[in-house]
Structure 1
Amino acid sequence: MDIKGNTGEVTLTGTSQPSKTNHGAIALMVSLFFIFGIITVFNDVLIPHLKSVFDLSYIQAILIQFTFFSAYFLMAMPAAKVIERKGYKQAIVIGLLTVMVGCLMFYPAASMVFYPLFLLALFVMASGITLLQVSANPYLSALGPSETASARLNLAGGFNSLATVIGPLIGAHFILSSSEAQRGAEAVQVPYLTLAFFVLLVAGIIYFYQLPVLSIESTASKKKGAWKFRNLRLGVLAIFLYVGAEVTVGSFLINYLALEDIAGLSEQSAARYVSMYWGGAMIGRFIGVAFLNRVKVTNALTVVSTVAFFLVTISILSSGSLAVWTIVAVGLFNSVMWPCIFPLGIKGLGEYTSEGSGLMIMGVVGGAVIPLLQGVLADYWSLQYSFCIALVCYAYIAYFGYINGKMTQK
Structure 2
Amino acid sequence: MWGFITVINNTLLPHLRSVFELSYFQTTLIESTWFIGYLVASIPAAKLIEKIGYQRALVTGLAVMTLGSLMMVPAARLPSYEITLVALFTVACGIALLQVAANPYVAVIGPPESSESRLTLVQAFNTTGDVLAIVFGKYLILSRTTGGTTLEGTQLTYAERMADAQATQLPYLIVAGVLAVLAVMIARANLPALSDATLRHNAEERKKHSLWSHRNLVFGCGAIALCVYAEIGVSSLFINFASQPDVANITHEDAAFYLAFFWGGMMVGRFAGAFLMRGIAPEKVLAAFALGAALCALVAVFASGPVAMYALMAIGLFISIMFPTIFALSIRGLGPLTEEGSGLLIMAIAGGALVFIQGRVADSYGLNWGFLITAACCLYVLFFALWGSKPTNALPPEELQPAPE
Distance 1:405 1:61 in 2: 34
Could you tell me which amino acid in structure 1 is paired with residue 182 of structure 2? V
With 313-322 and 234-243 compared, the bigger mean Cα shift is at 313-322
Q: CA deviation at 1:406?
A: 6.2
Other-structure match for 1:154: 120
Residue 130 of structure 2 aligns with an amino acid whose one-letter code is: T
Q: Which of 276, 282, 286 is the matching residue for 1:297?
A: 282
1:239 matched to which residue of 2? 224
Q: How far apart, in 2, do the equivalents of 1:76 and 1:406 lie?
A: 25
The residue aligned with 2:5 is 39
Letter in 2 for 1:117: I
What SS does structure 2 have at the residue aligned with 1:384? helix
Give 2:371's aligned residue.
387
Separation in 2, partners of 1:389, 1:347 = 28
- Give, in angstroms, the shift of residue 158 of structure 1: 1.0
- 2:181 maps to 201
Aligned-residue RMSD, C-alpha: 1.7
3-state SS of paired residue (1:177): helix
Kindly indicate whether the alpha-carbon contact (under 8 Å) linking 1:258 and 1:266 is maintained by their aligned counterparts in 2: yes
Residue pairs, 1:114-193, within 5 angstroms: 114-179=80-145, 183-193=163-173
Deviations 1:16-43 (A, max 9, x none): xxxxxxxxxxxxxxxxxxx221001011
Name the SS of the counterpart of 1:240 in structure 2.
helix
Query: Are positions 1:267 and 2:252 aligned together?
Result: yes
Q: 2:65 touches 2:90 (CA, 8 Å); kept in 1?
A: yes
Aligned residue pairs total 374
Letter in 2 for 1:187: A
Cα displacement (A) at 1:220: 5.3
For 2:280, what is the secondary structure of its paired residue? Answer: coil
Counterpart Cα distance in 2 of 1:265 and 1:259: 7
Contact 1:174 1:180 in 2 (8 A): no
In 2, distance between residues paired with 1:46 and 1:401?
Answer: 33
Question: 1:349-374 CA deviation, whole Å, 9 max, x = no partner?
Answer: 111111101001111011111x1110
Cα distance in 2 for partners of 1:303, 1:287 equals: 13
CA distance, structure 1, for counterparts of residue 83 and residue 187 of structure 2: 30
Q: Is the 8 A contact 2:34 2:353 kept in 1?
A: yes
Could you list the per-position Cα deviations for residues 280-307 of structure 1 after superposition, in whole angstroms to 9, with x for gaps in the alignment? Answer: 0001111122111110111111111011
8 Å CA contact 1:84, 1:221 repeated in 2: no
Name the residue aligned to 1:104: 70
Is the 1:180–1:187 contact (alpha carbons within 8 Å) kept by the matching residues of 2? no
Give CA-to-partner distance per residue, 1:84-140, whole Å, 9 cap, x none: 111111111110000000000001111111101000000000000000000000000
1:381-408, CA deviations, whole angstroms, 9 ceiling, x for partnerless residues? 1111111110110110001101046669
Is the alpha carbon distance of 1:188 and 1:220 closer, same or farther for their aligned partners in structure 2, counting shifts above 3 Å? Answer: farther
More divergent stretch after superposition (232-241 vs 288-297) = 288-297
Mean CA deviation greater in 224-233 or 135-144: 224-233
- 2:56 matched residue in structure 1: 90
Q: TM-score, normalised by structure 1?
A: 0.88
**Aligned counterpart for 2:359 among listed residues 372, 375, 379:** 375
Alpha-carbon distance in structure 2 between the residues aligned to 1:338 and 1:327: 18
Sequence identity of aligned pairs in percent? 40
| Match of residue 272 from structure 2 | 287
Match for 2:304 among 319, 327, 332? Answer: 319
Question: Hey, what's the Cα distance between the residues in 1 that align with 2:286 and 2:203?
Answer: 30
Question: Is 1:53 aligned to 2:35, yes or no?
Answer: no
2:243 corresponds to which residue?
Answer: 258
Report 1:316-355 matches (<5 A).
316-355=301-340
Secondary structure of 1:49 counterpart: helix
Partners of 1:163 and 1:171 in 2: CA distance: 12
Counterpart secondary structure, 1:262? coil
1:69 aligns with 2:35: yes
Q: TM-score, normalised by structure 2?
A: 0.89
Match of 1:10 in 2: none
Equivalent residue, structure 2, for 1:20:
none
Aligned partners of 1:339 and 1:205: how far apart in 2? 25
Task: Report the CA distance between 1:209 and its aligned residue.
Answer: 1.9
Question: Deviation per CA, 1:44-92, whole angstroms, max 9, x where unpaired?
Answer: 1111000000001111111221011111111100000110111111111
Q: Is the 8 A contact 1:258 1:270 kept in 2?
A: yes
Is the 2:145–2:164 contact (alpha carbons within 8 Å) kept by the matching residues of 1?
no
| 2:8 counterpart SS class | helix
**Cα pair distance change 1:163/1:218, threshold 3 Å:** closer
Q: In the alignment, residue 388 of structure 1 is paired with which amino acid?
A: L
